[in-house]
Chains A and B, each alone.
Chain A
Amino acid sequence: MSLSQNDAPLYEALLEYKENRIVSFDVPGHKQGKGNSELTNFLGKQCMSVDVNSMKPLDNLCHPVSVIKEAQELAAEAFGAAHAFFMVNGTSSAVQAMVMSVCKRGEKIIMPRNVHRSSINALIVCGAVPVYVDPGLNTQLGIPLGMAVEDVQRAIDENPDAKAVIVNNPTYYGVCSNLREIVKIAHKAGMKVLVDEAHGTHFYFGDYMPLAAMRVGADMSAVSMHKTGGSLTQSSLLLLGESMNAGYVRQIINLTQTTSGSYLLTSSLDISRRNLALNGKRIFENVTMLANYGRSEVNKLGGYYAFSRELINGDTVFDFDPTKLSIHTRDIGLAGIEVYDLLRDKYEIQIEFGDIGNILAIISVGDRILEVERLVAALSEIKRLYSKTSAGLLDHEYIKPIVVCSPQDAFYNEKIQLPIEETVGKVCAEFVMCYPPGIPILAPGELVTKDSLDYILYAKKKGATLLGTEDMNTEKLNVLK
């Protein structure tokens, strides 16, 4: 039997399972919802009836041989990958599987410092040592950019024993590095290229999008289908190129992945993949149109700067994701986090994140023009009612880290907890970050500097949610003894 992108084998198998009205003496104990009427009323019978366990007709995520295998093959084909894994613990787990598939304890891995915490978490677990490449910086907007090819080359030359290079494609803000060139120079040095495409699902389907990892020969990519592709939260894909051993990667995934993979999550991947394969081009044309419209209307309001492809500079901004509606807010005298809070508290509009100088609205498969109008109208009102002089706003976002030891050594070594104000000059033993975006201000193994401390205290004052530290209030910090 040969399958096409019109099929959704896992979804179809679940439908058939439902129709067969199997009597279940297996887990989950709610037995198609009958054992938990309140939850069934809330989520719906349909949903509960397919929340089932692995079984022969429905395959097994840990060892796929039938419908999950077929669904993964279709996903691989749709994304132009040699192999695809359905992931049920978020793109974080896909990123960790990438790192752990290519690095062992003590081995080096080259990465931009503005990676998501999941990459550095993987280093704590497996003991690999990061070689950070400072990303470019746009000082006007206060945002970190992509990696310059020259900087990656230098890191490769200085660390010829490194095993791999990690690239964000794109960054949270929508910035892409010159991925094709980075793949070329890394491969030349015998290093793998791992791509964090948490925000890049649509690159594989839309026209006029930045280049996708699998198209330029990257070795692995972690793709958040749930972020812009329409699948359920926590469902994600790990894509492999020809160079990778899929069986070994599966073993790595199974080290930490649940043995009770949710069929709600995996079927949502199957259905969303089919939708994107069949309709993705039209969907992302519409998404781009909405984002472009939002940008031009926001820019007409004055004071705000919704940035896009004009930032492209051939290197640290090699390309820009046009579906991202990133808006610089400092010139109306408000920190991004303040605008983010006003939108939610006063206007019932939830956006993705606000940082010191910017906000980010995600436009995706689920958006309509009516909601974009609400966002623009609310921003217009926020400017009219709340704008101030921009004096006194902090203007930088990226702080160059000083790495003293590996994340694993810092995390597991003897440490003490000190009031955060007293930690300058000490080696940080945990993460400190604003969430979202979840990019560490300090990572384990880095020196606490006056700059980083000032930034943390400022972000706190402006109302950012800080996390990562053992102390839930981020008043104390674990540092090495």
Chain B
Amino acid sequence: MELWYTEEQTNNVRFSIRCDKQIYAAESDYQRIEIFSTPEFGKILILDDRIMLTEKDEFIYHEMITHIPLSVNPNIKNVLVIGAGDGGVTAELTKYDNIEHIDLVEIDKMVVDACLEYLPDVSGKLLDKKVTIHIDDGLRYVRSCENQYDLIIVDSTDPVGPGEGLFTKEFYGNCYKALNESGILVNQHESPYYSVYARAMRLAHKKIADFFPIVRVYQAHIPTYPSGHWLFGFASKKFDPIKDLDADAWNKRGLKTRYYNTELHKGSFALPNYVLEALG
């Protein structure tokens, strides 16, 4: 018997990965969680029929959502991570000595537990002593925070299901309030290519721009996400992601990365015309 995981990326497009076996499947209060082992991508994590990460290409997403802000402001100390129960973001953040504390807010404890057990290579740093895990709704958590973070990373699912609240104006406004005067907000910004994702991208961009003086979008190539072309949002009260990039300082750190480098950093903000038009 052949076992394939097939994702309906849109109503008219499917993407399939051959699987060896299902390792984990459970229904939490919020979503269906599944982990498969696959010959091409290693283990893959699926939430509500959407690929969240694969062992083979997760580095691209996680390096790009973390190293961009940390090379722009090398003095980041307090970080809030929303979502990211798989631990991929924490694995990158804990490479930085200047980071003193990471609050990680994940709504679904079962995601954290499943990743700790079955995806230890990705999730191991969740147990780092700098990390405090809060099992809570990100929107609820950030509501009570004021002027206390240097960086907020929003590693959300798509804007349907439990991640919906993380694409709202009230969420971005509360993030603005939770950041200090040099704060940076980086978020998973969906894809510009298929219309359903492009709509979410446009709306998120517009809502973030209502609050932050500096709002930019950058891109990466992530093979297992719909269309492979994925965007991130960079919003800040003070730092420009290109003008304020301190490439020498970052390179002196000697961090080992497989996707990110400081030249790519600059290039990733150069967007195709159709994306620029859509962002308006």
| Interface residue ranges, A against B (CB under 8 Å) | 346-348, 369-370, 373-374, 376-378, 380-381, 384-385
User: B162 contacts which chain A residues (CB < 8 A)?
Assistant: 370
Given contacts A348-B169, A380-B174, could you give 5 more A-B pairs where the C-beta distance is less than 8 Å? A373-B137, A373-B165, A377-B140, A378-B170, A381-B170
Contacts A348-B168, A369-B137; A376 near B173 (Cβ below 8 A): no
B164 contacts A347, C-beta separation under 8 Å: no
Among A346, A376, A381, the one with the most B-chain Cβ atoms within 10 Å of its Cβ is A381
Q: Which residue of chain A has its CB nearest to the CB of B136?
A: A373
- Which parts of B146-194 form the interface with A (CB within 8 Å)? 162, 164-165, 168-171, 173-174, 177
Q: Would you give the shortest CB distance from B245 to chain A, in whole angstroms? A: 31
Docked-complex contact A373 and B139, CB < 8 angstroms: yes
Cα of A458 to Cα of B176 in the assembled complex, Å: 35
> Which 4 residue pairs spanning A and B have beta carbons closest together?
A377-B170, A378-B170, A381-B173, A373-B140
Give the complex CA separation of A373 and B30 in angstroms. Answer: 15
Nearest-neighbour CB distance to chain A for B169, whole angstroms, equals 5
Q: Does the CB pair B177–A346 fall under 8 Å?
A: no
Q: Tell me, rounded to whole Å, the shortest Cβ–Cβ distance linking B250 to chain A.
A: 35
A342 CB, min distance to chain B CBs, angstroms: 10
**CB contacts between A and B, total, < 8 Å:** 42
A-B contact pairs, 7 of them (CB 8 A): A370-B165, A373-B137, A374-B168, A374-B170, A377-B168, A378-B170, A380-B170
Task: Classify the interface of chain A: helix, strand, loop or mixed.
Answer: helix
B143 within 8 A of A: yes
Which residues of chain A are near B169, meaning CB under 8 Å? Answer: 346-348, 378, 381
For A300, give the chain B residue with the smallest CB separation: B144
- Given A346-B169, A370-B165, decide whether A377 and B139 contact each other with a Cβ distance below 8 A: yes
Task: Give the shortest distance, in Å, between A252 (CB) and chain B (any CB).
Answer: 47
How far, in Å, is A204 (CB) from chain B's closest CB?
28
CA distance A373 to B105 in the complex (A): 15
Question: Which single member of A346, A374, A385 contacts B165 (CB below 8 Å)?
Answer: A374
Are B171 and A377 in contact, with the CB atoms below 8 A?
A: yes
Complex contacts, A348 vs chain B, CB 8 Å: 168-169
From known contacts A348-B168, A370-B165, A373-B165, infer whether A381 and B140 are also in contact, taking CB-CB under 8 Å: no
Contacts of B137 in A (CB 8 A): 369-370, 373
Q: How far is the CA of A197 from the CA of B143 in the complex (A)?
A: 36
Q: Which A residues are in CB contact (< 8 Å) with B165?
A: 370, 373-374, 377
Q: Are A384 and B168 within 8 A (Cβ)?
A: no
Chain A residues whose CB sits within 8 angstroms of the CB of B143 once the complex forms: 376-377, 380
Bound Cα distance from A377 to B138, whole angstroms: 11
B174 touches A370 (CB 8 A): no
Complexed CA–CA distance, A381 and B137 (Å): 17
B170 pairs with A384, CB closer than 8 A: no
**Min C-beta distance of A299 to chain B, whole Å:** 14
Nearest A-chain residue to B174, judged by Cβ: A377
Minimum distance in angstroms from A100 CB to a CB of chain B: 46
Q: How far is the CB of B123 from chain A (nearest CB, A)?
A: 24
Taking a contact as CB atoms under 8 Å apart, the answer to whether B177 and A347 are in contact is: no
Which residues of chain B come closer than 8 Å to A346, judged between CB atoms?
169
